[in-house]
Structure 1
């Protein structure tokens, strides 16, 4: 199972540390330390599979030389107890291919550290545990504590770049919370992209309802001492926690299974052994806990998976999926939402509806209490739901909408006119006996492919008990469930679905085909169509590409001032560069209020805002009345 770990510490002279020595060790290189007048040589160290320095905008190229960079940091810091650098260490999923894990680390470092202005020295280690021989991939990131500034003196009018003042906002505890949450989000997105039924969670055991003590990480040096029979205070503390956790698991072995299925719906014996090994103190306790867990009546053998390994689940997880299947069939067979043929036929003949949309309207307005709509993006699902809403309301039914994310709920509401909320807020209000579903209600769940088995089962059970109808809308190929299980696909297989495959957002046939290809992962084929049509522009460098995008954006908005336009980039560091370039153009043209800019601390560092700026929010905030994506 994928492991979550992210820790932050300072490298300081007060503890006898050297930034140059730390950089040499993490990169397995040989560096000269000018301040200490000595050489740090760690070229015999193995396991370093990737090493690079990433620079923020405005940083000089000379800092790409590791020796130059960290010797300059040492020279800048004059205090005997100076803080030299910040180190962030995080675990990489061993289940990912090596190249994918490295790319994941690079994206996270660029987004969270380099974009706000830090210099980042990234080293990915792919070593193995001395006790179990398993790969333990992880990344070390050394970060500068000072910003970049340009200076010029009376003797040298030519500007030069150096480290400026220390950025105190980079020390905020809230920023660590942002890093921890964002790393979990990026890991889970990457695991989904590689079709791995695994999840990590940045929250503490207590916050997740897991009654086990959190363990302190034991470094490689401490692990070697442990193997030799020596015990440091850290190792002793780690073993004490492991023993107490092992005793807890001996008393309550079902905790192992419950915790495993929070992250994956099925697991192997190896997954089980890894978890128990992490939470026991020695081989004797490990064997005892494994025996208890394997004898636990909650454990269910499912047979061999695609790789020939025996896979297991829990009675609870199997029961959830069985209840989901039974509830799907029950709702599908219940005929509780009939409407007159006249209203249904009128809805299907609404001008502007395509043939598939009309058939979908006819399907979802049937009397049965569960309908499933499968469709690609851009096929007009929201338009179809808007027509269906009017038909349901004309027949006397109340229509409500829900989605997993706030911005998806907002999109459902704006696109179809169905008042919508997040599923989490709906379930919370149901728990307080508020806003309950009633007989005759219709609940439309958008982006249902993202809903996990447990939550889907709960929603369908509540609807069935209330006598409400549920309409699930989504694309099982495009979106992956966030929690364990693939509920949307399972429901669709049991009760059937109506498909909308004709893309209506684009009109030329080749663009419609390209959209379908993008939705089903055939990206190369889609891009070939755009290239054939002359709609892809190549550039020699990233800088030229960024400049070209901004120039095209500016040309298009001047030619069509009444239309909206958007620039997209894969990395947040490039997004920020595009935004700043576009903002400079707007300032030069007087589109932003001149001379009045307010500094605001954001999760991406300090930003300046002026009257006329457009803001994009990255989290929900009820006090501001915004959602993630507003």
Structure 2
């Protein structure tokens, strides 16, 4: 009857407001994080048996609301970074302890509640330590269990104070809070004692599969360390697979990267679970039969895939806002006349660009679309100067640091990523109001959830919004496509004339791509000798490395890393430089030397780098590597501690979003991974496309 299952973990601070999400999950409630992101678990409220909050007697009034409580706990873990001149999380910031315990199936709901509260009172003594404890009892699939969230800091009349060291013996840092016994044994003993006192019987220990493996401490020199780590990793993999068998979890994973999924997506998901045939069929039926799953049909009534009610509801809400805002006039006619005078006097815009600029002013939401090379950046910069001269406060946003860097170079001094802006708005360090105009570049790269958060922030503050992008390019890595829907339903000025290409055939090919005529554009590149056919991936890689005068694109990360090493080896001409240093990175182990190219994969404000930034190595050493980034700034980092970088000669097609590059090549290594609309982006100035097919007809088909 007594269960030994218990899991204990530390909840660390993070930009995705994880404690708010966890609290919403525990309470089966809907809550908003500090960045405005909504966490909604109300669809699982029927699994909630009981829920409560234990707070000190002298706690502030706001402490009675869990959402406000945990957001204040997060704010306590923030500090000002003097070097980066911005707020950041404290190093190794910890917000709470999260404990999960299994409850005996044989006991009643009332028994479960009494058992849990007695355990909390005896083991954690919240009144004595003045900590906050949120608890809940869940029962799903005959699996009664409880969640306990314990704040790391004491709560007083003035808010959260110092950390409670008395509850934090050394063993906590190893993941186990008791020094005298294992927690699983202590939990089982407590249940047996409770059952003996209440029912007068001696409870046997129930043999239940332990879903989580406790991580004991072991010395770095422990000879069995690697084997233990492997076992723990395998246990975690089993846990994750078990969680992914939940149909709702499966639906959310299937729609995380795309708004819809098809039979092939579902097949791959099932293959990753490694289910037997009979179980796989039953699982598919449970997923497609779930209340959240919606069928999608084309105009002929044919089934083309599925989505979820959650995704569809979010898309419809964002689209309704967009339609309402584009029909809402907010700028006066006198403002528009002033805009016309400024445009004619101060900007060297084409007639098409001037016309687009005049159409961008007047609505709460404005849309500007155009392919690469049509002058979107020039038009947006003219819009910025126009707005600033008329007394508006302009902020430029973009989905990636790369695009932000380009915006700053073009004249937008006040530019940042969308995530950064929403994060600062949530913490009150950034202000938007009715005199603010938010210009968003590369809007087609924004996923639906982020677009929803952005729209919510704009509506809350009364700001104006301008979205610019290419509705035919790669969409977001996550579920997206909202910008294309906005264009379809709301319209907006379009820039069609391509100015970037020097040669006539390249400009014509770009116009063909803009019109969706991919085959004709490919014919132009083929006729110009820019498409090369080879028989193997190795040969394509070798040709790309030999011809690489610029950046090289590939469809998969595996091929990108192979290309990086091949290009580095080709440039070294088979000789490793004497001053090269061996390094370990998130993209593998290799050597690096001065003059070689690199790219960052992680953002680190202390170092001064952002994900997707590129640079050239200035000097290398075992303890310090100096990089000159492409924007001209110089950063240093310790390669022993920072591993979020790799070689910078190649990347996936998403690396080309928002970039202007003079010469690039591409290895067509995986036909299933290429989207012709996205492929058109780097092909504007291709040196060559190295294909694995035998002829042009196969490639174009």
Superposition TM-score, scaled by structure 1 size: 0.49
